[in-house]
Structure 1
Amino acid sequence: MDTIKVLILSTNLEEKFEIENILTNVDYISIARDADTMEDALAIIDVENVDVVLVSSNYNGDGYDFCERVTTEYMDKAVIIIESEVHEDIMHRALFSGAKDVVLVPIKPNKLVDSIYQANKLTRKRMEFQKVTPAKQRKSTGYGQIFTLFSTKGGVGKTFLSTNLAVSLAKNTGKKVALVDFDLDFGSIALAMNLTPRYTISDVVDDIRNLDPEYLNTYMTSHESGVKVLAANIEPRMNEFINAEHIQLILKNLQLAYDYVIVDMPSRFYDPVNPAFVFAEKVFLLTTPEVATVRNVKGAIATFVDFNFPKSKISVLLNKQSRRSEIRPKDIEKTLGYEIQYVVPADYKKATSTLNQGIPYVTKHPRGSITRSISKMVKTIGDGKES
């Protein structure tokens, strides 16, 4: 077994010595030298080829911030958070920061060693997938980009925009695009694209141990636009065995197989699919020019803030905008405290008709107002060419 090099970052000397004593008795684990400062820690990660970083939750004021920095800059490193307690908010913070696991104090030796082993195994496997995957046109990290569409208000057009954004990306960039339906209870991506999928997310989860990018592709349903769709389950009761780890593995494999991954989310924060926030290049937070929707979206932003989610990842998208709208974009920006980065106009009759027919708007109305706005969006996020 290859040696796993571990860096321990804790301001609690007693805790640090306890961890060192546990790990020195494991023959396949070696401990990196001590780091006095955060800069030292980053240098050690570089120089000593650290595999796993154990970081206390209060390290350098906020261990989660450090975790996020490491997982962003070093995709081949696994980070494990050391915590004094675990509850929903902590698990959210750990997930959003990119941590592979949370280990509680008092530390149980078997739990700590197993966590290190599993975190390193998962990370190495992911990097092996990256190495064997044929070279594709991707961003510098070698991973496809995930764009997650979300709103805590139903009826704002998430599914409509998800399908049309995916089709427009495929058309305007010529690259590989995956469309994923993570609205596990009431997903309608397949219906919106007039598809009858043979497989759904549950089938992937049932075979999760064998998952790799090529194998995952066999579970995707092809659309005539070239977009590949991973459909939600037909019945909500099939979702009870799906967890965040499954979704994380699915997303990572999709990133290795596709240039762009578009994710349609449920209208709520839901633990199993929250990795779609963590690994997103951008989260498109949808609102419409309606008081109830703006209020809901403002609540969603407050939740993101509570979870320490990076503000730079959020892009507000104003959908169904009309000259007759009583609420102006500037009013929405003032209420949300965010600039509106994308505006999609209202075209109710045509949009409803295309959804009912299962034909993407951008396909049926290539010169329509919505198509033009989505093409501009694609040019910004995907180097596409405007239609």
Structure 2
Amino acid sequence: MTILCDPAARAGHLSPVVGGDVRSAATLDEAARLLASDPMETLVVVGASIDLDVALTFASSLRLERPAVGVVLLRDVLDVAVLTRALRDGVREVVARDDLPALTDACARSRALSAQVSGVPQPRQDGRQGQVVTVFAAKGGCGKTTLAVNLAAVLAAGGERSVCLVDLDLAFGDVGICLRVEPVRTIVHGLGMLGHVDVAGASSLLTACRPGLSALLAPVEPGDAERIPAGLVSELLAVLPTMFDFVVVDTPSAFSEHVLAAMDSSHHHVLLTTPDVPALKNLRVTLDMLDLLSYAHDIRSIVLNRSDAKVGLSMDDIERVVRNDIRAHVPSSRDVPISVNKGNPIVLDLPKHPVSEAITRFAAEHVLAEPVVAAKTSKRWFR
């Protein structure tokens, strides 16, 4: 999409040159309203009839509020003074109003730069699909979000791989807080895309967090969680693997249609528990539920968090309840909540820490080492 701010007659002449879907605005105030209503927008073309001072004020404010949106400015006459002022105020390109080939090229360059500024990968050219890893615990307080955040950070490997962390705890998601990023864009902004989510739409919802790591954040306004249909989750989890090597999904501590949509899309289910009777009971119920829904056994990994806690349960007791191999033992440490409060995953803050080493080892042995296979969905009769 592109917003073209120019008189109607002129806009009709320029629309085919700009390329893509074009919306016209008679004034920059109208253009600002169109931008506010569409987080997907990445380009505004300002016509030569718009006053230069007004256009530069618009570009300057946009540079701070929406840095991924580019402004291309058309002028009747190009001179050094105009170019200098325009670039200083955040305009990406200045083009002579009648140089239509130059306008086409400028718009293409601006869109490419917007993709880089957003920090979001573009679709894979080789057609490969990334893996979806869903982290779930049926009891709150097990450290699920902490594990999801740190697992995503490990998989990103400082930018060597591309990873998207999806906060599916729609009512009480904490991914943004754990990574200390502002929730300017969240999944709720994707409601208008329902039924036709594509790469451009999914990209517009993401927040760049670290090199190689982006996040799809949960809503922040009360009541917004109830507005998100499970169908939107399914669509996003179909598109995101075309853009990222890994998609890590953090979930709420209860089964829902949204959680089952993530489970359906997943190549790997990471099931977290702690060494206490309520958490182990809930894990047992979770495993029975996954069996009832016919999810494959070989895509499950059970992770025992706070595995060194002295709480009166032996490892034999735990294994007798779980009746499955435990693939990772993550020790307890006061350094974990400290890292959460700092907004920096412990695997990045203290890579040699026992907690970091346990998560890194799990990622290497049971996520990265596993062959890439198609996601194995359940046989649920409802969708």
Q: 1:336 aligns with which of 316, 322, 331?
A: 322
RMSD, aligned CA:
2.0
Residue 240 of structure 1 aligns to a residue whose secondary structure is: helix
Distance in 1 of aligned mates of 2:336 and 2:327? 22
TM-fit CA distance, 1:355 = 0.9
Match of 2:300 in 1: 314
* TM-score, structure 1 as length reference: 0.61
Q: Note the C-alpha offset of 1:152.
A: 0.7
Q: Which residue of 1 aligns with 2:185?
A: 199
Match of 1:373 in 2: 358
What is the Cα deviation at residue 315 of structure 1? 1.2
Query: Is the 8 Å Cα contact of residues 159 and 212 (structure 2) preserved in structure 1?
Result: no
Mark the runs of 5 or more structure 2 residues left unpaired by the alignment.
1-121, 371-383
CA contact (8 A) 1:145 1:259 kept: yes
2:151 is matched with 165
Mapped contact 1:220–1:228 kept (Cα < 8 A) = yes
What is the CA distance between 1:172 and its match in structure 2? 6.6
Contact 2:168 2:259 in 1 (8 A): yes
1:289 alignment partner, one of 268, 275, 286: 275
8 Å Cα contact 1:329-1:340 kept in structure 2: no
Deviations 1:287-332 (A, max 9, x none): 1111111011111112212222222222111011116343233321
Who wins on radius of gyration, i.e. which is larger? 2
State the partner residue of 2:344: 359
Which residue does the alignment assign to 1:227? 213
8 Å contact kept, 2:305–2:332: yes
Report if aligned partners of 2:158, 2:210 keep a CA contact under 8 Å in 1. Answer: no
Residue-by-residue CA offset, 1:54-112 (whole Å, 9 max, x unaligned):
xxxxxxxxxxxxxxxxxxxxxxxxxxxxxxxxxxxxxxxxxxxxxxxxxxxxxxxxxxx
2:195 and 2:232 in contact (8 A); partners too: no
- Contact 2:272–2:305 (Cα < 8 Å) also in 1: yes
One-letter amino acid of the counterpart of residue 154, structure 1:
G
d(CA) in 2 for partners of 1:234 and 1:156?
A: 23
Residues 199, 220 of structure 1: 8 Å contact kept: yes
Equivalent AA in structure 2 for residue 364 of structure 1: D
The within-5 A match list for 1:31-50 is none
Corresponding residue for residue 52 of structure 2? none
SS of alignment partner, residue 272 of structure 2: strand
Find the aligned partners of 2:177 and 2:309 in 1 and give their Cα distance.
Answer: 31
1:134 and 2:96 aligned: no
Aligned to 2:224: 238
Residue correspondence of structure 1 range 247-286 to structure 2 within 5 A: 247-286=233-272
| Structure 1 contact 178–230 (Cα < 8 Å) conserved | yes
- The alpha carbon displacement at 1:250 in A equals 0.4
Preserved CA contact (<8 Å) 2:185 2:205: yes
Letter in 1 for 2:161: K
Q: What is the distance in 2 between the residues matched to 1:182 and 1:342?
A: 23
Aligned partners of 1:243 and 1:273 also within 8 Å: no
Amino acid paired to 2:312: E
Measure how far apart 1:357 and its partner are: 1.6
Shift of 1:239: 2.2
Q: Deviations over 1:342-363 (max 9, x none)?
A: 111111x100111112111111
Measure the CA separation in 1 of the matches of 2:165 and 2:311: 31
**Is the Cα contact below 8 Å between 1:322 and 1:346 reproduced in 2?**
yes
The CA distance in 1 between the partners of 2:352 and 2:311, in whole Å, is 23
1:302/1:210 CA distance change after superposition, 3 Å: closer
**Alpha carbons of structure 1 residues 236 and 327: separation in structure 2 relative to 1, 3 Å:** farther
Q: Is the 8 A contact 1:153 1:296 kept in 2?
A: yes
- Taking the aligned partners of 2:283 and 2:140, their CA distance within structure 1 comes to 11
What amino acid maps onto 2:278 in structure 1? A
Aligned equivalents of 1:366, 1:202: Cα separation in 2: 34
Q: How far apart are residue 156 of structure 1 and its match?
A: 0.3
Q: Cα offset for 1:211?
A: 2.2
Mapped contact 1:176–1:259 kept (Cα < 8 A): yes
**Unaligned runs of at least 5 residues, structure 1:** 1-131
Cα displacement string for residues 354-374 of structure 1 (whole angstroms, at most 9, x for unaligned residues): 111211111111110111111
Is the contact between residue 200 and residue 219 of structure 1 (CA under 8 Å) also seen in structure 2? yes
Pick one of 145, 159, 162 that aligns with 1:176.
162
